[in-house]
Structure 1
Amino acid sequence: MSVVFVTGGSGFVGGRLIARLVADGHTVRALARSDTAAARVGALGAVAVRGDMDDVASLRTAAQGSDLAFHCAARTTRGGSRAAFWADNVDGTANVVRATREAGVRRLVHVGTEAALMAGQALVGVDETAALRPDSPAHYASSKAAAEQFVLAANSAEFETIVLRPRFVWGAGDTTVLPELLATVAAGRFAWIGDGRHLIDTTHIDNVIEGLCLAAERGRPGEVYFVTDGEPVVFREFITELLATQDVTAPTRSVPAGVAKVAAGVGEAVWRGLRLKGAPPVDYMSLWLSSKECTIDTTKARTELGYAPVRTRTAGFAELRG
């Protein structure tokens, strides 16, 4: 078995990845930026190595001796300045690429996202040929697009890079999507945009980890792969069921899509212009997620990686119910 280096190991995707790698018999070295992160990755069976994404030397030391690396760390918050997103998602990724290459890592798998294609348009049956959008007005989308461009440009015969793009990651242990939904409902701020009946693809955390492991083992250098739960679902039905796993009834209130679009534009302008903390009530990413179709063609992952979902939505919902 090999030695594997993981960034973002204290997060949702990184933590589950560490658990899988350890179970498969690998030695895992995980970057830890705090005592709390070190304790979490250590509890998962990884060797915690202190360092930071803005410190190439510490990253290089952390990756030393590893054959394979997974870059899972990213800023995913709703709020934040462009500079903050760029520092974490672009500069941080560039530092990981440089450090792992200099440490002699043979292959790097980067966790990407369909958001890197988003600039306000619906994504209908998209595949890996769709253009990245570093020009997106959403900081998360633009920064992840730029990060992915950097990762792919670094691919070489000596240092292989691969990108795996899961879409709408969910499941037990989620620290972002479900908690934010529950908080929004509890605060009385939840509303459907339009009727919420557009189609979306999702990816259960177990399917994300399966895709990452297959990409590391079978992915072609310099390539990108999408993975999902297999079949699209109606957004309103998925969110309603997700909330129901926590015994929460989805509200029925709705806002016209046009009104929400104007609110998002105004809110983003005000928050950015005044440099306010947090995120506006409706930000670009939330607007697009809640009102635009996003369906993915996973033919490439299925044919080249042998990918198939290992966890159904039904089983994932059952796990969340406990």
Structure 2
Amino acid sequence: MRIFVTGASGWIGSAVVPELIDAGHQVVGLARSDASAAALTAAGAEVVRGTVDDLDVLRDAAAASDGVIHLAFKHDIAFSGDFQGAAEADRRAVDALGTALVGTDRPFVIASGVAGLAPGRVSTEQDTATANGSPITIRAATAQAVLDLARQGVRSSVVRLSATCHGDGDNGFMATLVATARAKGVSGYVGDGANRWPAVHRLDAAHLFRLAVEKAPAGSVLH
């Protein structure tokens, strides 16, 4: 398959690209900088220059593909205080990609998350985020819009990533906990252990994205 990947040089994308290529797929990656383009070329992918704001570029690349994996998100503005702006830009990008795939029965896989699901119990694929108008529920609405494309001839699916995607080179708290355990033989947690945080290794996440684009039935939610 010829698969268009947005966010292809990012933390998850840089694991998804070799996962796809090793499985025999042809990858076309969206790159917004020279450094990203060079990384994708080195990984064996083709490059389309642009950003998630270039809606015509997204539509054309999706139309020329056999499937799409959408991983890009404006983390830079999201983490600097404008999560809503990032979520709204993501919705516009998703709508552009989805429009190009309507009626094709081609796969369209997006990254979402488990944030906003009911706390205090195990969340399942049947759970949805509570609609409270927060930026998190804007992303949940975007995910639902992708699932709804299943009724318009798109083999759409949503991968809900754990709150932490860790791996080699990660500077987050999962890496800190693992490093502590390796150095000391044990690692701590806060309180009585009831505060639990889901995590997934980025290579396992990449494997799931490949399986989704290859096999997931239309309208699937995958944790």
Global fold match (TM > 0.5): yes
Over aligned residues, Cα RMSD in angstroms? 2.8
User: Deviation of residue 134 (structure 1)?
Assistant: 4.1
Within a 5 Å distance, the mapping from 1:230-309 to structure 2 comes to none
Within a 5 Å distance, the mapping from 1:28-43 to structure 2 comes to 28-43=27-42
AA aligned to 2:58 is: L
Q: Deviations over 1:242-297 (max 9, x none)?
A: xxxxxxxxxxxxxxxxxxxxxxxxxxxxxxxxxxxxxxxxxxxxxxxxxxxxxxxx
User: Deviation of residue 49 (structure 1)?
Assistant: 0.5
Which residue is 1:264 aligned to? Answer: none
TM-score, normalised to structure 2's length?
0.81
User: Are the structure 2 counterparts of residues 206 and 194 from structure 1 closer, same or farther at C-alpha, using a change threshold of 3 Å?
Assistant: closer
Give SS of 2:28's match: strand
Which residue is 1:81 aligned to? Answer: 82
Within a 5 Å distance, the mapping from 1:121-200 to structure 2 comes to 122-135=119-132, 137=134, 139=135, 141-156=136-151, 158-167=153-162, 168-174=164-170, 177=172, 195=191, 197=193, 198-200=195-197
Q: Deviations over 1:185-238 (max 9, x none)?
A: xxxxxxx99637322321111111121122222212012011xxxxxxxxxxxx
User: Deviation of residue 180 (structure 1)?
Assistant: 10
Q: Deviations over 1:47-101 (max 9, x none)?
A: 0101222222111222343111101112344332254223332222222222444
- What is the CA–CA distance in structure 2 between the aligned matches of 1:99 and 1:123, rounded to whole Å? 39
Please, which runs of 5 or more residues in structure 2 have no aligned partner?
178-187
Give SS of 2:89's match: helix
User: Are the structure 2 counterparts of residues 35 and 99 from structure 1 closer, same or farther at C-alpha, using a change threshold of 3 Å?
Assistant: farther
Please, which runs of 5 or more residues in structure 1 have no aligned partner?
183-191, 227-322
Contact conserved, 2:55 with 2:93, CA < 8 A, in 1?
no
Contact conserved, 1:12 with 1:173, CA < 8 A, in 2?
no
1:52 aligns with 2:51: yes
Q: Deviations over 1:104-127 (max 9, x none)?
A: 57110111110142xxx6241110
AA aligned to 1:147 is: T
User: Are the structure 2 counterparts of residues 199 and 161 from structure 1 closer, same or farther at C-alpha, using a change threshold of 3 Å?
Assistant: same
How much identity, in percent, do the aligned residues show? 28
- What is the CA–CA distance in structure 2 between the aligned matches of 1:100 and 1:172, rounded to whole Å? 35
- What is the CA–CA distance in structure 1 between the aligned matches of 2:189 and 2:174, rounded to whole Å? 19
- What is the CA–CA distance in structure 2 between the aligned matches of 1:98 and 1:50, rounded to whole Å? 20
1:209 aligns with 2:206: yes
1:94 aligns with 2:95: yes
Q: Which one has the largest radius of gyration?
A: 1
User: Are the structure 2 counterparts of residues 209 and 83 from structure 1 closer, same or farther at C-alpha, using a change threshold of 3 Å?
Assistant: closer
User: Are the structure 2 counterparts of residues 54 and 134 from structure 1 closer, same or farther at C-alpha, using a change threshold of 3 Å?
Assistant: farther
Q: Which has the higher contact order (CA 8 A, sep 6+)?
A: 2
User: Are the structure 2 counterparts of residues 206 and 179 from structure 1 closer, same or farther at C-alpha, using a change threshold of 3 Å?
Assistant: closer
Contact conserved, 2:94 with 2:142, CA < 8 A, in 1?
yes
User: Are the structure 2 counterparts of residues 173 and 133 from structure 1 closer, same or farther at C-alpha, using a change threshold of 3 Å?
Assistant: farther
AA aligned to 1:114 is: V
- What is the CA–CA distance in structure 1 between the aligned matches of 2:61 and 2:209, rounded to whole Å? 21
- What is the CA–CA distance in structure 2 between the aligned matches of 1:28 and 1:154, rounded to whole Å? 23
User: Are the structure 2 counterparts of residues 157 and 61 from structure 1 closer, same or farther at C-alpha, using a change threshold of 3 Å?
Assistant: closer
Contact conserved, 1:170 with 1:177, CA < 8 A, in 2?
yes
TM-score, normalised to structure 1's length?
0.58
Contact conserved, 2:4 with 2:61, CA < 8 A, in 1?
yes
- What is the CA–CA distance in structure 1 between the aligned matches of 2:175 and 2:96, rounded to whole Å? 30
User: Deviation of residue 40 (structure 1)?
Assistant: 1.9
Contact conserved, 2:166 with 2:174, CA < 8 A, in 1?
no
Give SS of 1:126's match: coil
User: Are the structure 2 counterparts of residues 215 and 116 from structure 1 closer, same or farther at C-alpha, using a change threshold of 3 Å?
Assistant: farther
Which residue is 1:315 aligned to? Answer: none
- What is the CA–CA distance in structure 1 between the aligned matches of 2:95 and 2:64, rounded to whole Å? 20
